[in-house]
Amino acid sequence: PARTLGLLSSFSEDVRSRGQRPGARILNFERARPTAQEAMSLALSPSDLVYRLRRVRTADGEPLAVEDSTLPAALVGPLSEADVHDASLYALLAGRGLSPARAIRHLRAVNADLTLAPLLNVTVGAALLTTDRVSWLDGGRPIEYARAHYRGDRYDFVMELQGGA
């Protein structure tokens, strides 16, 4: 499936738009102190708490991506593993009045390592597309830091570029 980079949509919306059924399998869910990268990306202090979630994202049951998401606990409110079991994080956030208004996404090519390869059902060294994304609320507060590793043989990105006015 191709992914339009200019629109801020969830993995679930993206997969549904292609006539496939999105899914998620939780690998890890925790409430913890942020890493240095998470604290910087989410404008948090080292003593704040975050929810950290790692999931395998699927389309019609086939693994497409390994997604790591970090949310500021104080902003999101109480969150349990059941809340994120097979759900779109963006839909969950929208339900709490926390819809991301904008995001910056960094896209690069990487190779599958010994951890990612079995999760994505690819060989070690297979081409992956990795994105790092920070999403902000309308008022400018960061709401999510996410890193996703997509199967290079099953997923691609399309960009729409416009000239300045």
The amino acid occupying position 153 is D
Encode pLDDT of 41-66 as tens digits.
999 999 999 999 999 999 899 999 99
Terminal C-alpha separation, the chain: 31
Q: What is the pLDDT of residue 160?
A: 67
DSSP string, 17-58: TTT--EEEEEEEEEEEPPPHHHHHHHT--TTS-EEEEEEEEE
Q: Is 156 helix (H, G, I), strand (E, B) or coil?
A: strand
Q: Check whether 114 has a pLDDT greater than 90.
A: yes
Encode pLDDT of 125-156 as tens digits.
999 999 999 999 999 999 999 999 999 998 87
Instruction: Tell me phi and psi for residue 104, to 5 degrees.
Output: -120, 130
Question: Considering the entire predicted model, what is its pTM?
Answer: 0.86
Encode pLDDT of 80-106 as tens digits.
999 988 788 888 998 999 988 888 989
